Amino acid sequence: MKRLRVLLAASEAWPLVKTGGLGDVVGALPVALRGLGVDARLVLPAYPAARQALPDARPLARSALYGADITLLRGELPAGGRRMLPVYLIATAAFDRPGNPYQNADGVDWPDNPARFALFCRAAAALALGHLAPDWRADVVHAHDWQAGLLPALLSLHTQRPRSVFTVHNLAYQGLAPAADAAALGLPAEWWRFDALEFFGQLALIKGGLVFADRITTVSPRYAQEIQTPEFGCGLDGLLRYRAHALVGILNGIDAEQWNPATDPALPYRYDAEHLDLKAADKAALQQELGLAAEPRALLLGLVSRLVAQKGIDLLIDALPHLPADVQLVVLGSGEAAYTEALRAAAAAQPARIAFRAGYDEPLAHRIQAGADALLVPSRFEPCGLTQLYALRYGTVPIVRAVGGLADTVVDASAENLASDCATGIVFETASSAALLAAIERALALFRAGAPWQQLQRAGMAEDHSWEHAAGAYLELYCHLLDQELPGA
């Protein structure tokens, strides 16, 4: 049978460019799909950082799309063993800007983001249809988040077209633009309707995916249910209920090579479940690095996150004055100024107990996962969440709120769950600093008791969250869309 050709389109992919979990997922999924025999390929905007990370990328085609000159570049990334992942980059002036894919140096979104990513979608559609580089066309296009939202809509204009899958990583980011942009972007007039791209008088590029994709997926089963409710639906819950038959939640995996405490090059001491004494050495090294008191009996909490409202950072900030005495905290994150200022002040007031590192630091994220005893994820909503999955693998007990993928991946240390040895962390229900504090106090009691804590660590480390399972679920979905049997079935 012919090899299935799948084009994944997104605004970020590790190791080319990453601002959050989207980058992790879009970097790892095509690699896992290739491992399953799929001809998966990736298309990304050619930001300067992506071009630097892919120095061997060569021009393949040139084209003019909606008045913009586009160059299609093609390079490759290692994909395990001798396998390589083909990567296409869309080079055009709008992406030739330094820094973050979405923001200028002051952290402000580029005002022309809708136009930039609409252009990216036009180029990706042309590529998928075989119009840009005639030697390859896609059977399935898998578009991710609003930046690739227009892609399923553009493909729907063609009769001979690939099937489309749209994955919602975060419904709160919708690619909104003023009504005038709809015409300026050259979109068909009939898309200016509530059942197409119009959204309360604005253009919402995410609706290109939600309305026009053959299938919609999101990154955990629980979030797939939540987004059909007004509480989590961000105004799109009605549309998602309408499309419920085409919507499925597939839990993200993690890159088990990159996030492996036994081989992680970022760690001072590498360890596995049989050598947790070496994890204690990582804790001591982290305390020293951060200037925290060298206290092995303190419960060291870590948090690695974008500092935005979604992540419940305010709950943590409000809890700081009430943290039990033998609790230490390290936060690594970047984001909103109000949060960074509050965290900086708290760390300055109690430097031996609280450390804050502003900015984006991949190796430090790994050292925190290894050196912390517990990892906080107090999110108000969380489509999947990856840091709690990394924590499970690193024997770092996750303390999470019972939402989205956090609820799907962490099993609370209730007496019953401990007795049946399925508990992996601490789960709390209410989005309040009191509930977060109560969860931290429960963690502290288990930590002091010793044996139940090690039980949680071992149970988490024994789980397998690698990509094989999720990639298999996506492959099944692609085959279903094409009326094909699963390869090897």
Q: Which stretch binds ligand GLC (CB under 6 A): 18-26, 62-70, 288-296, 451-459?
A: 18-26
Minimum distance, C-beta of residue 406 to ligand GLC, in the bound complex (Å): 8
d(CA 242, CA 42): 30
User: 366, 266 in Cβ contact below 8 A?
Assistant: yes
Beta carbon nearer to ligand ADP, 22 or 342 = 22
Site for ligand ADP, residues 188 to 247, rule: CB under 6 A: none
- Interacting residue with ligand ADP among 9, 42, 304, 444 (CB under 6 A): 304
Minimum distance, C-beta of residue 8 to ligand ADP, in the bound complex (Å): 17
Residue nearest ligand GLC, Cβ-based? 21
Site for ligand GLC, residues 202 to 221, rule: CB under 6 A: 219
- List C-alpha distances in Å: 225 to 35, 39, 234, 251, 311: 30, 31, 13, 13, 20
User: 215, 166 in Cβ contact below 8 A?
Assistant: yes
- Interacting residue with ligand GLC among 92, 100, 252, 340 (CB under 6 A): 252
Half-sphere exposure of 130 (CA within 13 A, CB side): 12
User: 400, 456 in Cβ contact below 8 A?
Assistant: no
Beta carbon nearer to ligand GLC, 287 or 334 = 334
Residues whose CB is less than 8 angstroms from the CB of residue 127 and which lie 6 or more positions away in sequence, other chains included: 7, 43, 72, 88, 133, 138
Q: Does 21 bind ligand ADP (CB under 6 A)?
A: yes
Q: Does 101 bind ligand ADP (CB under 6 A)?
A: no
Give which of 89, 147, 153 is closest to 125, Cα–Cα. Answer: 153
- Interacting residue with ligand ADP among 42, 46, 386, 437 (CB under 6 A): 386
Minimum distance, C-beta of residue 25 to ligand GLC, in the bound complex (Å): 5
- Interacting residue with ligand ADP among 147, 387, 409, 466 (CB under 6 A): 387
User: 397, 440 in Cβ contact below 8 A?
Assistant: no
Between 321 and 360, how does the x/- string for binding to ligand ADP read (CB under 6 A)? -----------xxx-------------------------x
Q: Which stretch binds ligand GLC (CB under 6 A): 14-22, 323-331, 350-358, 459-467?
A: 14-22
- Interacting residue with ligand GLC among 371, 385, 395, 398 (CB under 6 A): 385
361 contact, one of ligand GLC, ligand ADP, none, CB 5-8 Å limit per kind: ligand ADP
- List C-alpha distances in Å: 36 to 11, 108, 375: 24, 40, 33
- Interacting residue with ligand ADP among 305, 340, 396, 409 (CB under 6 A): 305
Pairing between β-strand 202-204 and β-strand 176-177 as defined by DSSP bridges: antiparallel
- List C-alpha distances in Å: 163 to 126, 152, 256, 439: 14, 8, 30, 45
334 contact, one of ligand GLC, ligand ADP, none, CB 5-8 Å limit per kind: ligand ADP
Give which of 455, 464, 398 is closest to 276, Cα–Cα. Answer: 455
What is the torsion angle, in degrees rounded to the nearest 10, for the CA atoms of residue 350, residue 355, residue 359 and residue 363? 170
Beta carbon nearer to ligand ADP, 335 or 487 = 335
Q: Does 313 bind ligand GLC (CB under 6 A)?
A: no
Half-sphere exposure of 109 (CA within 13 A, CB side): 12
Q: Does 20 bind ligand ADP (CB under 6 A)?
A: yes
- Cβ-based burial of 261 (10 A; exposed 0-12, middle 13-18, buried ≥19): buried
What is the torsion angle, in degrees rounded to the nearest 10, for the CA atoms of residue 254, residue 258, residue 260 and residue 262? 170
Q: Does 406 bind ligand ADP (CB under 6 A)?
A: no
Minimum distance, C-beta of residue 53 to ligand GLC, in the bound complex (Å): 20
Q: Does 377 bind ligand GLC (CB under 6 A)?
A: no
Beta carbon nearer to ligand ADP, 231 or 362 = 362
Q: Does 334 bind ligand GLC (CB under 6 A)?
A: no
Q: Does 361 bind ligand ADP (CB under 6 A)?
A: yes
Beta carbon nearer to ligand GLC, 41 or 465 = 465
Beta carbon nearer to ligand GLC, 170 or 466 = 170
Q: Which stretch binds ligand ADP (CB under 6 A): 16-24, 91-99, 280-288, 340-348?
A: 16-24
Element (H, E) at 315: helix 313-319
165 contact, one of ligand GLC, ligand ADP, none, CB 5-8 Å limit per kind: none
Beta bridge partners, 168, equal 218
Give which of 303, 291, 309 is closest to 373, Cα–Cα. Answer: 303
User: 91, 61 in Cβ contact below 8 A?
Assistant: no
Pairing between β-strand 39-45 and β-strand 84-91 as defined by DSSP bridges: parallel
For residues 86-112, b (16+ Cβ closer than 10 Å) or e, as one string?
A: bbbbbbbebbeeeebbbeeeeeeeeee
Q: By the criterion CB under 6 A, which residues form the site for ligand ADP?
A: 20-22, 24, 304-306, 332-334, 360-362, 365, 384-387
Q: Under the rule (CB under 6 A), what is the footprint of ligand GLC?
A: 20-22, 25, 169-170, 219, 252, 382-386, 405
